[in-house]
Chain A
Amino acid sequence: MKFFSGRIFRAILLFSCLCLLPAQLSHAEDYDQIFHEANDAMGGGDLPGAIALLKKIPVSKGEDNAPFVRSRMQIARLHFALKDFKAAEADTREVLAVYPGNSEALNFLASVQQEQKSRSAVFLEDCLRFLPNLLKGSVMTITLVFCTMLISPLGGLLIALGRLSRFKPVSTLCWFIIWLFRGTPLLLQLFFIYYGLPALGVTFKPFTAAILGLGLNYSAYLGEIIRGGIQSIEHGQMEAAKAIGMSYGQAMRRVIIPQTYKRLMPPIGNEFIALIKDTALVSTIAMVELMRSADQMFNAYFNITALILAAIIYLVFTTIFTFIFEKIETRAGIYENR
């Protein structure tokens, strides 16, 4: 009996094996067929069609789940391509329900989730990534601007007074300085000071070279503006000052120059706003300021957000300056009866 039953069992087993074999083979063939058709559909651009085809492959309970995983991941990618990120996530989770550790599915889920984040969230993330460096660069930009703002009005005043001097050598020298520094590009001046002067035995640190270049250039421009301001003051003011016994210097200091402040504010404000942007040029002589930082970020991540942020920071600076200069202008003209 035992033998019999054993035989019968074996026979049934063998039969069923014989029956199942072609069925199993035909399943694999079906799946291949499905993948093939889906590929064709994709090639023809019919992504929803390809998804419908691939969905025919069921979750198989057996050991070999490769077609299932392959099909669901394919569907997920197709949904991703169709920008249906929710469906793509669902497809991936379907795989993960069966294989919680599937690394392909896990990676894909991460990128789907990243993609599902709103653009503003991505932008915010980029901002947080770039801002520390950009702000560090901004500190240098502001330092350069303030140093130049301290130097150039004084240099400009000297150049202006020199231009107005009746002593020919002085006025000619000042004319020459203006001619030279207004007549050549600031970029070239910076190059010359940083790269050119060492050839003549004069070497500067980048910061010194930057301040020197910006200071001289802006002194030349402000010199002409200040000279115009001084000359715009009515001649009678100088005569009245002289008539009470003032020297030329006293008249300038007490009477003429204070009256130029209001008139000088708009053009000088203009110059200083140009200065904020011109500091970007010193990035060419090994200085890391705002523009250079933005450029570095942009090159490292190929992410335009760095440039947008830099633009915003520049705009913030120039806007603040505009307001400050408007305030100073109003203050400086307080004596004008309006």
Chain B
Amino acid sequence: MKTANQPLLSLKGITKRFGALTAVDGVDLDVCPGEIVVIIGPSGSGKSTLLRSVNFLEEIEEGTITFEGSEVGYLRNKHGKRHLDTPNRICALRSEIGMVFQHFNLFPHMTVLGNVMEGPLTVQKRSPEEARAIALDMLAKVGLSDKRDVYPATLSGGQKQRVAIARALAMRPKLMLFDEPTSALDPELIGEVFDTIRALGKEGMTMIIVTHQMGFAKEMADRVIFMEAGSFVAQGTPEDFFANQMEHDRIKSFLTRIL
């Protein structure tokens, strides 16, 4: 595990409920700068909800999120009731945390270049020339410079996901969240997306990745976490996790089902 004085992201007691269902149940997690955390687990275990909570796409009921040393995202009113911080502050936080979705969610009415430029242009209010330069840079990084003028509808799934990664990177985020980035892809397209993520890891990007690809977890992760029913059941370095935690019954049965 790479270490630093201070974790980039620190989650304490994160709890998210949907009515009677507790999707995330008091999760603690520290992510250090440059660390790659891979979260695995059966569907409905709360992995995605946890990830979305970090980006405030889900509003948590309990717990604190500390980003770069300061607690963020929630305020308490005079009655002590917590609520989401002002829209401006939430937007500012989100622009420092990139997110990649399972279904890409590219903007279909914009070209590939337009998609990648959109953040710098609209959110960071950069000039069109500047935004364009950044976007071309990011497209080169994901190897799609030649596709810059086409609309997303003409791309393959793998290409779409790489554009989505470029779009997130264009905001120069400090943390990247990947929510099952390859689950909607044909098997032969998974490789190109992981190559892109791998390259990011080599550059020292801090990442939290939810995935079902064990091979990737083994190869890339600094830490593997197994999540079930809203809690972390086990975690460790990939070597430790896949060697020792396999004794854990639930993990074993999950992994045999997956592999």
A242 at the B interface (CB under 8 A): yes
Determine the chain B residues whose CB is within 8 A of the CB of A183 once the complex forms. none
Determine the chain B residues whose CB is within 8 A of the CB of A337 once the complex forms. 151, 153-154
Contact A245–B118 (Cβ < 8 Å): no
A29 at the B interface (CB under 8 A): no
Instruction: Determine the residue in chain A with the shortest Cβ distance to B153.
Output: A337
Band of interface residues on A: 20 to 34
B10 at the A interface (CB under 8 A): no
Give the contacts of A239-260 with B (CB-CB under 8 A).
239-248, 250, 254-255, 258-259
Interface of A is mostly: helix
Contact B105–A236 (Cβ < 8 Å): yes
Contact B109–A259 (Cβ < 8 Å): yes
Determine the chain A residues whose CB is within 8 A of the CB of B191 once the complex forms. none
Cα distance, A236 to B108, chains bound together (Å): 12
Cα distance, A254 to B92, chains bound together (Å): 18
Of the candidates B103, B153, B171, the one whose C-beta lies within 8 Å of that of A245 is B171
Contact B107–A245 (Cβ < 8 Å): no
Contact A245–B92 (Cβ < 8 Å): yes
Contact B108–A243 (Cβ < 8 Å): no
Band of interface residues on B: 20 to 34
Instruction: Determine the residue in chain A with the shortest Cβ distance to B170.
Output: A244
Determine the chain B residues whose CB is within 8 A of the CB of A237 once the complex forms. 105, 107
Binds A, one of B23-31, B93-101, B129-137, B208-216: B93-101
Contact A246–B105 (Cβ < 8 Å): no
Contact B168–A236 (Cβ < 8 Å): no
Contact B108–A335 (Cβ < 8 Å): yes
Known contacts A244-B171, A247-B88; decide if A239 and B153 are in contact (CB<8 Å).
no
Contact A248–B171 (Cβ < 8 Å): no
- Counted as pairs of residues, one from A and one from B, with CB atoms less than 8 Å apart, the total is 77
Cα distance, A245 to B110, chains bound together (Å): 17
Cα distance, A243 to B54, chains bound together (Å): 11
B106 at the A interface (CB under 8 A): yes
Determine the chain A residues whose CB is within 8 A of the CB of B106 once the complex forms. 240
Contact B118–A335 (Cβ < 8 Å): no
Contact B118–A243 (Cβ < 8 Å): no
A64 at the B interface (CB under 8 A): no
Cα distance, A242 to B119, chains bound together (Å): 10
Cα distance, A271 to B153, chains bound together (Å): 30
Known contacts A336-B153, A337-B153; decide if A245 and B108 are in contact (CB<8 Å).
no
Contact B151–A244 (Cβ < 8 Å): no
Determine the chain A residues whose CB is within 8 A of the CB of B170 once the complex forms. 244
Q: Which residues of B contact A (CB under 8 A)?
A: 55, 57, 87-88, 91-92, 94-99, 101, 103, 105-110, 118-119, 122-124, 151-154, 164, 167-168, 170-171
Closest 9 CB pairs of A and B: A245-B95, A337-B153, A240-B105, A236-B105, A244-B119, A243-B99, A245-B123, A335-B151, A245-B94
Q: A236-B103, A248-B87, A255-B107 are in contact. List 12 more A-B contacts (CB 8 A).
A: A236-B105, A237-B105, A240-B164, A242-B91, A243-B94, A244-B98, A244-B119, A244-B168, A258-B109, A335-B108, A335-B152, A337-B153
| Listed A/B pairs (12) with beta-carbon separation below 8 Å | A237-B105, A240-B99, A242-B91, A243-B94, A244-B123, A244-B168, A244-B171, A245-B96, A246-B122, A248-B87, A336-B153, A337-B153
